[in-house]
Structure 1
Amino acid sequence: MVAKYTDSNAEEDNLVWDAPPPYALRSSSDVLAGSCILNTDGTLNVELESAAPNELTKLLPIYRPAVPEPEAESLGKCPPLNIVVQVVGSRGDVQPFIALGTALQRYGHRVRLATHNVFADFVRKSGLEFYPIGGDPEDLMSYMVRNPGLLPSLDSLKGGDIPRKRRMIHEMLQGCWDSCILPDPISQEPFVANAIVANPPSFAHVHCAQALGIPVHLMFTMPWTATRAFPHPLTKVKAKDIRQSQANYFSYGIVNIMTWQGLGDVINGWRVKDLHLEPVHTSMGPDLIESLKLPFTYCWSPALVPKPQDWGSNIDICGFFMRDEPAYTPPQDLDNFLRAGPAPAYIGFGSIVLEDAKRMTESILQACRVAKVRVIVSRGWSKLGGDDPSTDDVFYLGDCPHEWLFKQVSVVVHHGGAGTTACGLYNARPTVIVPFFGDQPFWGNVVASNGAGPVPIPHTSLNSENLAEAIKFCLTPAVNQAARAVADQMRRENGVEKAVQSFHRHLNIPKISCDIQPQHVADWACRLSKSKAETKMSHAALKDSVLKGHVKLGDAAPYQPKDYNMGVERLDPFSAGASATLGVLTNFTSALGGTFIDPFKQHKQARLANGNGGSAGLAAATAVGKGFASMGTSLSKGTLVDVPLALAEGLRNAPRLYGEEVRDHGKVKDWKSGGAFAAKNFGTGFYEGITDIVIKPYAGAKKEGALGFMKGVGKGSLNMVAKPGSAMFGLLAYPAQGVYKSIKSLKKSPVTDAVRAGKLANYERYNDAL
């Protein structure tokens, strides 16, 4: 589904909330052919084949030799930051980030954990700030049980889950943005983020980071980055006439494409309407994280799942995030149960919402009778056991910290969330995983491959017989020994501290630090009197400069240390020109359709709201005016900026197709930089286009003889067309792009105003504290 937006005034009503996304993908070519079909359980069946496997190999990134990563301390001490940690998911997803937030806070940062409202007490009792982003995790868990992948099953498509989930995503996107800039909901203490940490399913992370111009760092418990080592956990991959490793790699891109099909229009609608950013192009959306090379930390033990060789230096594996064991005194009835006999088994599924909790409870109790073990059953969100009382052999448990509880039991049976899995293994407990969705099957297979438990039992296959066999298997000496070996490895790691180091290492510390007082973070950018260069300033440095008369407070702008280029990379003039032309036609057609449809919509809404025919007519007329304005804007921008820019960039980047470096002329930010870029591109383009026909053959002959000479002739001939062509188109394109950006920057933005207001509130709070 492609969003239809014509300008920054696009309304939320443009979104078709209940339209089922086209969750199917087929492609056919000599290099790569295959299909991707959505299963009834929400996972993907991926079948890939190739008639040219050697050509396919060339499309994959090559392995790079490992480069030693610098210690975070060698890069300088990171100043204290305002960090917002955005997490979407269950309690098991939130808990690791509480451990991370506590460690970041211990370092000196101010940490706000932004997640679902239901976890407010859980977060605040841990000593972290909390911000509610909306969304109903219980509804989300119920949905995920019915749809084990990120994608909806056919039953969900028919049953009305789609509009509810899409609206929930939109609510959480806006909640994540608010968490970056709004004061604490209780104390009203101002807050503007200097950096974002997020798990990928929060989806808002990089878009919020772009709007604020700040660093973002992703952290997650399941593989999210393409690798040859193993397939995406949400896929079932079959490879024909290609290596399994190649199929594994492409499975990640397929999941990204399918996910963007379902949510791309929601994300772009939010970007345009609420963040006042350009929509992300369809070709960029699925692989945005990959193309931007965002820093990524995986919070699992490298002893269990080592870092794949094809993951770059922007990716770290640090170990599980284990929080400090909370102080806990068991209630008397639990203490009595534990003392009354041998160590029981633990069975619980936490935040999972089961469709038939009664049947699951019966299977659990029967399995424990067959295995001859006592059992602690965690009621969880599914209320296992209902209102049944505990007995001599069965104890029904409410909330209890796993860090304490897992020390008291002989075996743990759970859904396989990364946090619960880590806690069980860390305490050397043999583990039975009953996966429901997401990364849970992945962790079940990891446990089994390390000998610390049986192969996972999908919840749809669970019965009293196979559960009893799994428990008995876990009680054998060999499995207990394997669990102790895994625990010994994990105890030598300190995942949270390494994650903090990873976060600091991937920051550009000089870039985010104040020029005058580098021990503080830079929040402002301004030019001091008698200085042409922009100065990065903290609240303290700005206050001092204002008092000394070196700068006026009104001249200081919120500092943006990080720039994100989400524009389409034009690699050749043909695809670039075609894509830009198609985009212009699409935008114009959408605006034309809106000119006829929106007036009726606005007329109906105004009439329902006011019952006044006059106001309804005015609303319709206004919509007509907006439609014609949108048509004019899309056509003029397309013909004067988009198409010439696409051709200029496509021609300029064409030499990259045969391995040649392309000159960097800087970035077009306004009309001045646009003119400067055009002038540099014109000069170098014509000069190199003419001289390359001589220089390239000579350099090639010197390196490879006659063959190199012929290669050089080819490169020089192509450059003689591409580089002067870029120079000519660029004379119009780059200044026009600069003028467009200058005009856009003059338009008052509520996002800029909100960020500045938050910064000023922090500035005043700092002054009051002195």
Structure 2
Amino acid sequence: MEDQPPRYSMLEAAGWPEDECLQSATNVNNDGRVEVNLDSKVCKTVAKLIQIPREEQTPPSIPDHAEFAGCDIQLNIVIQVVGSRGDVQPFIALGNELQRYGHRVRLATHGLFESFVLESGLEFYPIGGDPSELMAYMVKNPGLIPQMKSLRDGEIQRKRAMVAEMLQGCWNSCINDDPISKAPFVADAIIANPPSFAHVHCAQALSIPLHLMFTMPWSSTRAFPHPLANLKYSNTEPKIANYISYGIVEWMTWQGLGDIINEWRSTLDLEPVPGTEAPSLADTLKIPFTYCWSPSLMPKPSDWSSNIDVCGFFFRSLPEYTPPSDLDTFLRRGSPPVYIGFGSIVIEDPVAMTKIIKRVVRSLGIRAIVSRGWSNIGDSVSDEQIFYLGDCPHEWLFQHVLAVVHHGGAGTTACGLRFGRSTTIIPFFGDQLFWGNMVASCGLGPKPIPYRSLTSDNLAAAIQFCLQPEAQSAARDVANRMTHENGVAAAVASFHRNLPLDDMRCHALNSEPAVWRLKTSSKTHIHLSKIAAEVLVDHHRLKMNDLQPYHVRPIYIQNRRWDPVTGTASSLITTGTDMLKATGDIVYRPYVEFSRAPTNQAERAYPESSRSQSLDNASVIETASVDSSATTKPSRLRNTGVAMGGSAKSLGKAVGVWYKGMLIDMPLAAAEGLRAVPRLYGDEVKDHGIVTDWKSGATFAGKNFVHGISDGFSDIFNQPYNGGQEEGAKGVMKGIAKGTLGVTTKVSSAALGLVAYPAHGIMKSLYVATHSKTRKRVLQARVREAKYLAEHSPKAQGNRQAIIRNFEAVYRNPVRTASSSS
């Protein structure tokens, strides 16, 4: 079972077992995009799960970022980034801009970039993962489906292990001390790029704000398809096909990663995410999203809501750089060269790439700077026509070249356009083709040449295109327009605008975020920061036991049902699958325990000693031989006991799964499905809130019963009347059908919900009560940081009396507290 190649999805890659249905729906092109056949059964099924909102007739207003630029609360912000150096660099610029507002910023990414981050003045936290290995894998498997060679070589298993490592690393980055200074840190907000995957789950575990930022479109739109999807369809309207493509790519990604993420979520005491909800979490939860490309290249689509912004490229300040003497001499010696480089891309055959580049440069008679990058392209010795370059800041270098040829990473593309350089893009995977098409559509360079299609002839033609006056002029025009944009400042303003600042503010120290709440006698709450709470405890104004965690931005992931048939069916399938797994464990667990049993007498007698190299092996064997008869039997009994215990536990789990499925999950699915039926014919379904515990479950059941009975019976009369007013006799007939269906489904949901919703709430309460390890760890981390701040922070030392005075004023006047918390 464990030897079978598991499904996998990493960044833009996902591994699938060879499945005929899936293969009929998707194929990988040479450019790395997935050919998605919307006419296939798989895609049609997935498309039914994607809610397509009505198209807006007028574009949404774009907020004035300058209006929201200010933020007087100083936060601990962790920025989680998975990817190459080009993915990390824009977030360094973002982190530096956030520091200007007094925020403490930690950038969590791969260990390879530690010095790069620390030299910028940001805190660094390693999340694991090897970006060079990732880049090599992505070059070999540029689309969403890996090649069979990768499956046979076991690369998918290694990438899945890497994903699990990075998920845990991202969580640790939210609550662990600084690796260098040992200063405690607990995140107050998270900024992340989507491929980091852990973001929404970390935010849910901490109940803090989350903001996603990315370099390519990741939010559903009718304007253009997902950058990783090449759509094929016959009967679907083009705008709808574009919109659906985002959901299908997300669904494919979840198919490979879902089991890893849900297994990791269990370690955070979070419930599993339903497979129908996971691909659209960001959209369902309305998580703020900022895209860091220039709106002068591609404006914000009209169907993106107000929580999505297009702010401009993220540029860091121009670095102070003195070129080495040989590079300086080469630049001064002749005409401006063309830059050719592929950065952190790990190319399969760098020798062949070197031959192509040399052949093109010689044939065109141009001068070139060739960046060796992670693939070590080029020769060891430069000449008068070609200079082989090591590490050099693009911000400096691109000011001294005539055109640029590269892989199409967002950061490299932005840097070339910033300095008005015409561009040829050789995409390998991911968003690179998207940027290549963007550059070509604006006349800044030729059409992108996919890496596997690159030849000396098409590369030579592409460079010649870039050297034409028209391309050079178009690039300069874009650069001039970009000088009026400040993407980093706009992104920070977008981040601040989407924060619930009024809810985050500490009532005793306004510049600090609240993490505790104190319930007063008047049943209102006072919100306190870590510093304020520690000061108040030190001065005996309150005890730590008086405080409860304050959830600034709680995240609730619901398993929505669209109708009673599919809802009940999916619940039945889930229950059956869980029961099969638990039943299988009744046999499998004893086998695992017995397979772990020691294999020799020495191990049985002294298992720890047999693993230690510090002990004398002869003495261990001698001791074991003397007492082998005394130790073998207890060892076997012990293993048998453990095995039987595991089997009994699995049996109990199977029984529990059955009872939960039959008595809670399926009735709940049926009640929710019946409640959702009016939505299918255009009626509004009342929102009764979210079930989070037994109390909210009972409240939900009561509201659903009252509204279900009253609305259901009133529909018998209202629906025909309203239909007749709108469509005459035809509308009356439709109204009779709607009224009949409405009274059946609403009344049935009301009755069934009286049992289902309270039971669901009780299960929620039991789950929270029995899964408290993560909450305790977060509380301990916050207490530890509070003690550290009270001792080392100038803010704590200088504001002690003000904290006490503000607290006492608020405590005496709870009306003020309630108004400030609203």
TM over 0.5: yes
1:416 partnered with 2:408: yes
3-state SS of 2:665 partner: helix
Is 1:532 matched with 2:523?
yes
Taking the aligned partners of 1:422 and 1:356, their CA distance within structure 2 comes to 27
Question: What fraction of aligned residue pairs are identical, expressed as a percent?
Answer: 51
- Aligned mate of 1:258, from 249, 252, 259: 252
Deviation at 1:511, TM superposition (A): 2.5
Question: Which piece of structure 1 moves more, 666-675 or 418-427?
Answer: 666-675
Separation in 1, partners of 2:20, 2:65: 43
| Per-residue deviation, 1:535 | 3.1
1:289 paired with 2:282, answer: yes
Residue of structure 1 in register with 2:670 after alignment: 647
Structure 1 partner of 2:688? 665
Residues of 1 paired with 2:235 and 2:724: CA distance? 39
Deviations 1:529-581 (A, max 9, x none): x1313332212432455456564212323322223232221122222122212
Partner Cα separation in structure 2 for residue 416 and residue 690 of structure 1:
61
1:434 Cα deviation from its structure 2 partner = 1.2
Asked if 1:452 is matched to 2:444, the reply is yes
1:485 corresponding residue in structure 2: 477
**Preserved CA contact (<8 Å) 1:48 1:238:** yes
- CA separation of 1:41/1:266 partners in 2, compared to 1, >3 Å: closer, same or farther? farther
SS of 1:66's equivalent in the other structure is coil
Map 1:75-224 → 2, pairs under 5 A: 77=71, 79-224=73-218
Distance 1:501 1:207, change over 3 A: same
The alpha-carbon deviation at position 392 of structure 1 amounts to: 2.1
Aligned partner of 1:8 in structure 2 is none
1:22 is matched with 17
Give the C-alpha shift of residue 749 in structure 1: 2.1
Distance of 1:23 and 1:94 partners within structure 2: 34
Higher Rg: 2
SS of structure 2 residue aligned to 1:237? strand
Q: Cα 1:24–1:408, aligned 2, differ >3 Å: closer, same or farther? A: farther
Rate the CA distance shift 1:685–1:25 in 2: closer, same or farther, 3 A: farther
Residue 730 (str. 1) matches residue 722 (str. 2): no
Distance in 2 of aligned mates of 1:41 and 1:416: 13
**Bigger shift: residues 452-461 or 66-75:** 66-75
| Alpha-carbon separation, structure 2, partners of 1:70 and 1:461 | 43
Q: Which residue of 2 aligns with 1:31?
A: none
In 1: Cα distance, 2:313 partner to 2:67 partner: 25
| Residue in 2 that maps onto 1:10 | none
Q: 1:341 matched to which residue of 2?
A: 334
Structure 1, 168-177 or 505-514: larger mean CA deviation: 505-514
Residue from 378, 398, 414 that aligns with 2:390: 398
CA offsets 1:203-243 (integer angstroms, 9 cap, x no match): 11111111111121111111222223222222222232434
Q: What is the identity, as a one-letter code, of the residue corresponding to 1:638? A: G
CA distance in 2, matches of 1:15, 1:642: 31
> Deviation per CA, 1:285-324, whole angstroms, max 9, x where unpaired?
2222233232211111111122222222221111111111
Rounded Cα–Cα distance in structure 2 between residues aligned with 1:77 and 1:630: 49
Query: Does residue 300 of the first structure (1) align with residue 293 of the second (2)?
Result: yes
Amino acid at match of 2:195: P
Letter in structure 1 aligned against 2:293: W
Judge which range, 232-241 or 537-546, deviates more.
537-546
SS of equivalent to 2:38: strand
Q: Judge conservation of contact 1:82–1:192 (CA < 8 Å) in 2.
A: yes
Greater Cα offset, 643-652 or 403-412: 643-652
What SS does the aligned partner of 2:399 have?
coil
Maintained 8 Å contact 2:60/2:302: no
Q: Which residue of 1 aligns with 2:418?
A: 426
Per-residue deviation, 1:281: 1.3
**For 1:684, which of 691, 699, 707 is the aligned residue?**
707
Q: Residues of 1 paired with 2:561 and 2:583: CA distance?
A: 28
TM-score by length of 2: 0.86
* 1:495 aligned onto 2:518: no
Match of 2:319 in 1: 326
- 3-state SS in 2 of match to 1:594: helix
Shift, 1:681, TM fit:
2.2
Asked if the contact 1:114–1:131 (Cα under 8 Å) also holds between the matched residues in 2, the reply is yes
How far has the Cα of 1:692 moved from its partner? 3.0
Let me know the Cα RMSD of the aligned residues: 2.7
Query: Does the Cα contact within 8 Å between 1:454 and 1:474 map onto a contact in 2?
Result: yes
Q: Does structure 1 residue 247 correspond to structure 2 residue 241? A: yes
Aligned partners of 1:59, 1:567: CA distance in 2, in Å? 15
Residues 41 and 603 from structure 1, CA distance in 2 versus in 1: closer, same or farther, beyond 3 angstroms? farther
For the Cα contact (< 8 Å) 2:66–2:490, is it kept in 1?
A: no
Q: Is the contact between residue 37 and residue 45 of structure 1 (CA under 8 Å) also seen in structure 2?
A: yes
The separation in 2 between residues aligned to 1:296 and 1:307, in whole angstroms, is 12
Asked if the contact 1:82/1:195 (under 8 Å) is kept, the reply is yes
Deviation at 1:18, TM superposition (A): 7.5
SS of aligned partner of 2:553: coil
TM, length-normalised to structure 1: 0.92
* Aligned amino acid, residue 267 of structure 1: I
- The secondary structure found in structure 1 opposite 2:36 is strand
TM superposition shift of 1:413: 1.1
Q: Deviations over 1:163-189 (max 9, x none)?
A: 011111111111111111111111111
Q: Which runs of 5+ in 1 are unaligned?
A: 5-12, 29-33
Q: Do the aligned partners of residues 565 and 491 (structure 1) sit closer, same or farther apart at CA in structure 2, a change above 3 Å counting?
A: same
The letter of the residue matching 2:17 is P
Measure how far apart 1:140 and its partner are: 0.3
Which amino acid in the other structure matches residue 202 of structure 2? Answer: C
Q: How has the CA–CA distance of structure 1 residues 72 and 318 changed in structure 2, closer, same or farther, with 3 Å as cutoff?
A: closer
Contact map agreement 1:345 1:373 (CA 8 A) in 2: yes
Q: Secondary structure at 1:240's aligned position in 2?
A: coil
Unpaired segments ≥5 residues, structure 2: 9-14, 605-634, 798-822
1:467 to 459, 480, 484: 459
SS at match of 1:112: strand
The alpha-carbon deviation at position 42 of structure 1 amounts to 5.3
Q: Distance in 1 between matches of 2:721 and 2:7?
A: 62
- Alignment check: 8 A CA contact 1:142 1:352 kept: yes
Task: Give aligned pairs, total.
Answer: 749
Q: Which moved more, 1:134-143 or 1:757-766?
A: 757-766
Q: Give per-residue Cα distances to partners, 1:237-268, cap 9 Å, x unaligned.
A: 22324343333332222222221121111111
Distance 1:294 1:154 in 2: 37
> Deviation of residue 406 (structure 1)?
0.4
Q: Name which of structure 1's ranges 403-412 and 641-650 shifts more when overlaid on structure 2.
A: 641-650
TM-superposed deviation, 1:14: 12
More displaced stretch, 174-183 vs 279-288: 279-288
Question: What does the per-residue CA deviation read over 1:699-729, in whole Å, with 9 as the maximum and x for residues that have no partner?
Answer: 4445554444444333332222222212211
Distance 2:413 2:366 in 1: 21
* Alpha-carbon distance in 2 for matches of 1:15, 1:199: 31
CA distance in 2, matches of 1:135, 1:507: 30
- The answer to whether the 8 A contact 2:74-2:104 is kept is yes
1:15 CA drift (Å): 9.9
1:712–1:510: structure 2 CA closer, same or farther, 3 Å change rule?
farther
Which secondary structure does the structure 1 equivalent of 2:74 belong to? Answer: coil
Name which of structure 1's ranges 93-102 and 626-635 shifts more when overlaid on structure 2.
626-635
**Quick one: which amino acid aligns to residue 587 of structure 2?**
F
Amino acid at match of 1:584: T
Aligned residue in 2 for 1:363:
356
Secondary structure at the residue paired with 2:598? Answer: helix
Structure 2 SS opposite 1:607: coil
Give the Cα–Cα distance (whole angstroms) in 2 for the partners of residues 224 and 310 of structure 1: 13
* CA spacing shift, 1:557–1:14, aligned 2, 3 Å: farther
How do 1:508-523 residues align onto structure 2 when only pairs under 5 Å count? Answer: 508-523=500-515
Question: Which digits, 9 at most, give the CA deviation of each residue in 1:139-171, with x for residues without a partner?
Answer: 000001111124322332233211011111111
SS of residue in 2 equivalent to 1:219: strand
1:684-703 equivalences under 5 Å are: 684-702=707-725
